[in-house]
Structure 1
Amino acid sequence: MNIYLKVRQRVGNLAVASVSNAVCSGCNMNIPAQLYNELHRFDSLRYCPFCRRIIII
């Protein structure tokens, strides 16, 4: 919960963004292919390299 609150403070109310077709819904930028593949592992939190939100699929 601490991480969520820190991200929320940094980027505003929308701290978590979904990713669809390798596009972050928070900033509408294409995330790198390797990061998109890593999201499917579900082993740790990942962040959008552009808007720094927590990203999920």
Structure 2
Amino acid sequence: MRNAEKTIRKQIADANGIVYEPKKCNFKGECRGTCPACEQEVKYIEKQLNARRMLGKA
């Protein structure tokens, strides 16, 4: 599941002109996309999307 979510985040970032390179996840066990590293990536993309909305670019 982890790779699919990273792929989706990358597609969203690319479609919105956001610089994003997924990082290797070192989470032990089954990551369901809610580990600290994944959450940090989601927050980064959300922050970038919000900034673009404020500028009228999204």
Structure 1 length as normaliser, TM-score?
A: 0.27
Q: Which has the larger strand fraction?
A: 1
Larger Rg: 2
Q: Which has the larger helix fraction?
A: 2
Structure 2 length as normaliser, TM-score?
A: 0.26
